[in-house]
Structure 1
Amino acid sequence: MAKGHVLVLPMPCQGHVVPLMELSHRLVDHGFEVTFINTDVDHALVLAALPEGVEALRGIHLASIPDGLADDEDRKDLNKLVDAYPRHMPAYLEALIGDMEAAGRRRVKWLIADFNMGWSFEVAKKLGIRCASFWPASAACLAIMLNIPKLIQDGVLNDKGWPDREETLQLAPGMPPLHTSLLPWNSAGAPDGQHIIFQLVCRNNKFNDHAEMTVCNSFHEAEAGAFKLFPNILPIGPLFADQRSVGSFLPEDTSCLKWLDAWPDGSVVYVAFGSMAIFDSRQFQELAEGLQLTGRPFLWVVRPDFTAGLSKEWLEEFQKHVAGTGMIVSWCSQQQVLAHRSVACFVSHCGWNSTMEVVRNGVPVVCWPYFCDQFLDRSYVTDVWRTGLAVSTGEDGVVTKEEVRCKVESVVGDAEFRNRARWLKDNAWRCIGEGGSSHENFTRFVDLLSE
């Protein structure tokens, strides 16, 4: 018999759906009834991408509510997205819960919500539902957000969230250094919408007081400094789903796994930039030619919306040139790719899911952050763990093909990067194994949800 009915609510972005879907699978394994709530738009994408239909979710119920945006509005515009959903989604969430109970579903006992959906805790409190909070990024990122009042008091930030001082922050020993020009809320989109992101962060810090526990997709050895600073943030990761569906918005091309089988161990460069990054045509071409210059086999994920203005003929010609050594797919199972023996390094945007996946598999990284917390994750890789290098842009803001070749060769050619990546991998597996710190924290979480 199920232990209780739990609602799981991610922020409506691919990088937030994935870890909460991974967590949902684990909760189902522990006997909970889980209803996973996407927005209507994301719900349709997930259904269309499921390889075996809803059976691939193995007991997770799917539900959806509107996000408050019109059908033709850009959902990659974070400013627009986070402005809409606190105003529209609370009423829809409350109505959905009422409809489920009216239809005879078990009463909802717990809401596990993305920290970034803090408004939902007030809905839950109103309905007598207990709350737990899930933080999908690094604990260091949350630590910076929770330190906003002190940063303002110390004169580092003004009350609008903009830096008053140009300096590099390091909140505690062992935490990643971050320049004040790259704070997560200041790197999320157009500057004229920055106040929307900053206000959301400040509100969520207060909403989180309703949560009885805050867990995150990390592990102690990866972020010891952050967990010492905020011991109430409990790491339960790295999370993974054992090849079960994690709510991809695009169908996964599985042919690349057989393609990888044909290559020697540690030979393939894997390249992917997540679900949000967009390159202009020049940067796309520089990356493409840089991969070709390495002379190494590469697997490159190119979403349909990854670049604008690129000549279709140019791309077709490029694919002909690299047909023997390069494979381009629109989406893939990244967890399976990074676990493959043939992968030598990962050219990555450094989203936190990707960062945890690469850590769990002991793969070195060429860091190429795009926005938000990805600059902080880069700092972990390059400055704290020392498991990779970052690309540098020229004066025109472009990463050249020579820079791509140089950084790939430097990371793949230095055994120390792989040795440190393997050390971190071993620590990650110890944490999630029986008796490890993440395992113990997850047990505490399950016990709380079972009350």
Structure 2
Amino acid sequence: MNCKLKICHAKLSKKNPPSRVVDQIIFSGSISCRQPHVLVIPFPALGHVAPLMKLATKIAEHGIDVTFVNTEFIHAKIIASMQGKAENSSSQIMLVSIPDGLDLQADEREDPHKLMTEDPQADTECTACVIADISVGWALEVAEAIGIARAAFVPFGPGSLALSLHIPKLLDAAIIDPNGFAVLNYGLISLSNEIPAWNRNEYTRSFPTEPNVQKIFFGSTCAAVQVFKISKWVLNNSVYELDSPACDLIPSVLPFGKIVEWAPQENVLGHPSIAWFLSHCGWNSTMEGLSMGVPFLCWPSFADQHHNRNYICDVWKIGVQLLPDENGIITRQEIQINVKALLKNDGIKGNSLKLKEIARKILVEGGSSFRKFDSFISQIK
């Protein structure tokens, strides 16, 4: 089933900041009350927008109207990617664009609730749920103030999410300091024996040479964690069967499987001539490669990518990692050696195909992700 698209633009101004725009969209009459309505708000970066756009499409296929809010830059890319799509469904996705809001005064941007004192006195029964990326937690706070159900979307893996949720315990145990730095020089940060540990030098939230950056980043991470306290659901683009120990540490998590569909990478990975995938190990790419049964050549850079690499190479055993030399450089010889080793490794090829089959089964009727997503849809209808 394809989804009908409707395009509109919301005006952002000093008297109409992002939170107020969200407020207005929730109360707008642009989508009728003939069926439930969900408002989806991604963080304005392509790696965050892609999985939420796919999720919005899946939701609309179940007879639920969806309003998808983007900044103008991202909105234009979404429209371009939708060219030629069929529009023959009774459901619809309304794509709403808003300016970035950089012309607002600083004090107006700091408090997203400032202009929410006026009550529109409108019927809120149409809007069943607000789904927002954890990086735009203010949208979920707006929904809470209005009394709308909330779902936090997490675009990275459950291991990194579990680590974020355990920050208070890590602080109490003096494993990290108040700025988020790992305390032990050569130790590992571990949540359980079944979850790959984080090396201090690869810790997701450490910027040892940039203390100011570290303070800001760790502060934003702690703020994002608070979003989970006001969210009924935590939506995660993951597979329970592949990381059940981490999923079990996350209350209310719904790992609904691979929903990412960001052409042309998926089309390329699915081609039978592809022998391996050189990847930075971002979570979207990890799920895409895993679902296509393609072995990985791992070259992580920062954030959760190192931990995803640990899953790929050490837990799932579907790839090999590139190691830098004494100068921190990945040499061409290192790449050549590992490409040859990867092509000769039947064990990695076999594991990749097994995980591909697991990913396929969880998405069909009766699979774990199918059941979780179906339950989520039933609750918001």
Match of 2:304 in 1: 373
The alpha carbon displacement at 1:136 in A equals 1.1
Range that drifts further, 372-381 or 426-435 = 426-435
Residue aligned with 1:215, SS: strand
Match of 2:282 in 1: 351
Match of 1:445 in 2: 376
**Does the 8 Å contact 1:38/1:63 carry over to 2?**
yes
* 1:389 lines up with 2:316 in the alignment: no
Q: Which residue among 4, 16, 41 is the counterpart of 1:9?
A: 41
Which amino acid in 2 is paired with 1:33?
Answer: D
The alpha carbon displacement at 1:180 in A equals 2.3
**Does the 8 Å contact 1:185/1:372 carry over to 2?**
yes
Residue aligned with 1:404, SS: helix
Match of 2:206 in 1: 186
- Aligned partners of 1:85, 1:31: CA distance in 2, in Å? 40
Cα deviation digits, residues 98-122 of structure 1 (max 9, x gap): 7xx99x9994331001122222111
Which amino acid in 1 is paired with 2:43?
Answer: M
Residue aligned with 2:196, SS: coil
The alpha carbon displacement at 1:357 in A equals 0.6
- Aligned partners of 2:111, 2:240: CA distance in 1, in Å? 34
Cα deviation digits, residues 214-236 of structure 1 (max 9, x gap): 12111112111102223531210
Question: What is the aligned residue count?
Answer: 345
**Does the 8 Å contact 2:50/2:260 carry over to 1?**
no
Q: Which residue among 45, 54, 67 is the counterpart of 2:77?
A: 45
- Aligned partners of 1:445, 1:92: CA distance in 2, in Å? 32
- Aligned partners of 1:38, 1:92: CA distance in 2, in Å? 22
Which amino acid in 1 is paired with 2:55?
Answer: L
The alpha carbon displacement at 1:449 in A equals 1.1
Q: Percent sequence identity over matched residues?
A: 35
Which amino acid in 1 is paired with 2:98?
Answer: I
Q: Which residue among 239, 249, 255 is the counterpart of 1:219?
A: 239
- Aligned partners of 1:363, 1:36: CA distance in 2, in Å? 32
Residue aligned with 1:186, SS: coil
Q: What is the TM-score when the length of structure 2 is the normalising length?
A: 0.82
Residue aligned with 2:179, SS: coil
Q: What is the TM-score when the length of structure 1 is the normalising length?
A: 0.70
**Does the 8 Å contact 1:67/1:89 carry over to 2?**
no
* 1:61 lines up with 2:94 in the alignment: yes
Range that drifts further, 136-145 or 228-237 = 228-237
Which amino acid in 2 is paired with 1:339?
Answer: G
Residue aligned with 1:60, SS: strand
Cα deviation digits, residues 301-332 of structure 1 (max 9, x gap): xxxxxxxxxxxxxxxxxxxxxxxxxxxxxxx5
| Structure (1/2) with the larger helix percentage | 1
Residue aligned with 1:176, SS: coil
The alpha carbon displacement at 1:400 in A equals 0.8
Q: Which residue among 151, 171, 174 is the counterpart of 2:170?
A: 151
Residue aligned with 1:16, SS: helix
Match of 1:23 in 2: 55
Q: Label 1:59 to 1:191 Cα distance change in 2 as closer, same or farther (>3 A).
A: farther
Q: Label 1:89 to 1:335 Cα distance change in 2 as closer, same or farther (>3 A).
A: farther
* 1:342 lines up with 2:273 in the alignment: yes
Report matched runs for 1:45-194 at 5 Å: 45-52=77-84, 59-69=92-102, 87=109, 90=112, 107-166=126-185, 167-186=187-206, 191-194=211-214
Q: Label 1:148 to 1:230 Cα distance change in 2 as closer, same or farther (>3 A).
A: same
Cα deviation digits, residues 158-180 of structure 1 (max 9, x gap): 01111111312231233122212
The alpha carbon displacement at 1:61 in A equals 1.5
What runs of 5+ residues in structure 1 fail to find an aligned partner? 71-83, 247-331
What runs of 5+ residues in structure 2 fail to find an aligned partner? 1-32
